Amino acid sequence: MARYRYCCRLRNLLLCVCTPFCCLLLFFTYAAVTISMSLNVVSSRPQVQVTNKPEKANNVILPVIPATFWEHHSSAFWNQLQRAVDYHFNPILYSESRNRSAIVHLGDSLLNKSFFEVTSMGHMKKKLEELPPAMQKYVSHMQRRSYPVLIQPDRACGAKARREDQTPFILFAIKSSELNIKNRQAIRQTWGQVGWVQGQKNSSNKEEEKVGGYVRRVFLLGKDNSQFSSPDLTELLKAENRRYGDILQWDFEDTFFNLTLKDVLFWSWFSRNCGQTLFVFKGDDDVFVNTPKLISYLHGELKKPHAQTTMKEFMIGDVIGNAMPIRGETSKYFVPDSFYKGIYPSYAGGGGVVYSGHLARRLHHISKTVHLYPIDDVFVGMCMLRLNALPIHHPAFLTFDFSEKDIEQPCLYHTILLVHKRSPEELLRLWAELKKTQTQCRDVPLRAPVTKKISLEPPS
Ligand SMILES: *[C@@H]1O[C@H](CO)[C@@H](O)[C@H](O)[C@H]1NC(C)=O
Ligand SMILES: *[C@@H]1O[C@H](CO)[C@@H](O)[C@H](O)[C@H]1NC(C)=O
Ligand SMILES: *[C@@H]1O[C@H](CO)[C@@H](O)[C@H](O)[C@H]1NC(C)=O
Ligand SMILES: *[C@@H]1O[C@H](CO)[C@@H](O)[C@H](O)[C@H]1NC(C)=O
């Protein structure tokens, strides 16, 4: 009995002493972390492991604190800018994040605010002055992403389909430039024809006559700033748009580094105008697309189990994983390490990529939490990572053309969905050829997909 009482007293004593002690310890740890983080928001780095799962609340997609592909501790210019934004989404380090939905809705101004805060600091001003001139020019406009529309289709969502009330199956959104009139014309006559397009039939799905879909088309343009352009070109473009209704032009300089603007502005336009469109093709105006096969392929994807779920993050193309920024100063992709440090996230080559309409709307939303990046397809990859989504690689997207030994193969163009790069004349010839061989090549399968395992982690 005495022994039992003794035990009891001991336990009470332990409880009385240990509980407050543990609480205090936890409190001090929390306080220490919080204080050290807020002391120097920009030069410190997060010590806390954060979730990698996308979270949802009130139908607002909250960004994932990314498995960082950029070097988080690096002092490179872009890295620092993005890190300042990331702090707003860290549930522990940033107190205002108690109302995260408010912050996501204010996305545009959040980027703007962080940009001016970070670039007004002394050491960042110095860093900016040390960037190459082309980069400095880029940075001077990189916080701006709203530009007036100069020309747009007058009917909803791209070129006039014969029956406007039908839900478009796929919208071709094609990056073009003012002068590429021939490219646009060839695309309109070949793989970019609008209206109902029949999918490629093979001998086993003869009864299934209805595999096809309504196609729409829009060309994405900025302003040409070359000495060749003249006011006449504007009139010409307006005439083109009156005839075909497929020109979407914004008032920014159509340069390589500005191509990312075509993505963010397109997503915004798409979200407003394209309602139920199932798929988006986004690519260059010098590619060849096997549209009938693409339509059949996408129908196949829709028939798969769990398609409802997979379509939320469906993106397919020529996926490049674990790429490093190009450091050769003569390349048009050159990005100095004072601007960006780290590997690139997996991204689908910008020559041609297909994604779901649902994903396009999610990208529009999430892009408000990522600073613009001068390489457009890499930027899309960054946004994908924030959605915790990965693009799927398919070998039928040939953004680097055929290899020598392929060329001999019969029915070559029936084995692919896209090939880069082809001139307007070649497009016309290839399209005619594709039509001519449709029956004899109908059972030729696409290049077999090999499931390329792409890791979110940088190689060690
Ligand atoms: C969060 O912000 C939104 C938009 O500003 C506001 O409507 C909502 O009431 C806020 N919620 C909380 C819990 O403060
Ligand atoms: C961005 O921030 C700057 C400085 O705080 C301000 O002058 C400018 O109007 C803001 N622009 C937008 C589009 O919010
Ligand atoms: C992008 O377009 C804007 C607006 O025309 C222009 O001021 C800026 O210099 C362009 N950026 C680059 C890197 O060409
Ligand atoms: C024929 O098409 C169907 C559906 O489009 C596909 O599942 C099947 O594999 C194809 N067969 C051949 C031989 O290509």
pLDDT in tens, 238-292: 999 999 999 999 999 999 999 999 999 999 999 999 988 999 999 999 999 999 9
- Range 114-130 average pLDDT: 91
Say which range, 56-60, 383-387, 417-421, has the weakest mean pLDDT.
56-60
Protein residue closest via CA to atom 12 of ligand 4: 443
Which mutation among 96, 99, 104 tests ligand 1's pocket best, with the greatest number of atoms within 8 A of CB? 99
Residue 447 to residue 412: CA distance in whole angstroms: 10
Q: Is residue 143 in contact with ligand 3, taking CB distance under 6 Å?
A: no
**Prior bond of 175 cis (ω within 30°):** no
More confident residue, 66 or 317: 317
Residue 343 to residue 387: CA distance in whole angstroms: 18
- Range 80-86 average pLDDT: 88
* Residue 335: per-residue pLDDT: 95
Q: Is residue 183 over pLDDT 90? A: yes
Q: Is residue 454 over pLDDT 70? A: no
- Range 64-79 average pLDDT: 71
Instruction: Output the average pLDDT for the chain.
Output: 83
What is the band of 157 on the pLDDT scale with cuts at 50, 70, 90? confident
Which mutation among 142, 254, 255 tests ligand 3's pocket best, with the greatest number of atoms within 8 A of CB? 255
Say which range, 114-123, 228-237, 258-267, 404-413, has the weakest mean pLDDT.
228-237
Q: Which residues line ligand 2 (CB under 6 A)?
A: 109, 112, 116
3-state SS class at 459: coil
169 CA distance to ligand 1 middle (Å): 37
* Residue 8: per-residue pLDDT: 62
Of 296, 287, 343, 285, give the one whose Cα is nearest residue 318. Answer: 287
Structure tokens at 60: 């607002």
141 CA distance to ligand 3 middle (Å): 6
More confident residue, 356 or 233: 356
Protein residue closest via CA to atom 3 of ligand 1: 102
Q: Is residue 228 over pLDDT 80? A: no
Q: Which residues line ligand 1 (CB under 6 A)?
A: 99, 101-102
Domain boundaries, given as residue ranges, for the chain: 149-436
* Residue 56: per-residue pLDDT: 40
Side-chain half-sphere exposure of 222, counting CA atoms within 13 A: 20
Angle between the N-to-C axes of helices 122-130 and 133-141, in degrees from 0 to 180, rounded to the nearest 10: 130
Residue 174 to residue 171: CA distance in whole angstroms: 9
Q: Is residue 138 in contact with ligand 3, taking CB distance under 6 Å?
A: yes
* Residue 55: per-residue pLDDT: 38
CATH code at 149-436: 3.90.550
- Range 389-404 average pLDDT: 91
113 CA distance to ligand 2 middle (Å): 7
Q: Is residue 99 over pLDDT 60? A: no
Say which range, 61-65, 283-287, 403-407, has the weakest mean pLDDT.
61-65
- Range 112-119 average pLDDT: 88
144 CA distance to ligand 3 middle (Å): 10
pTM score, whole prediction: 0.81
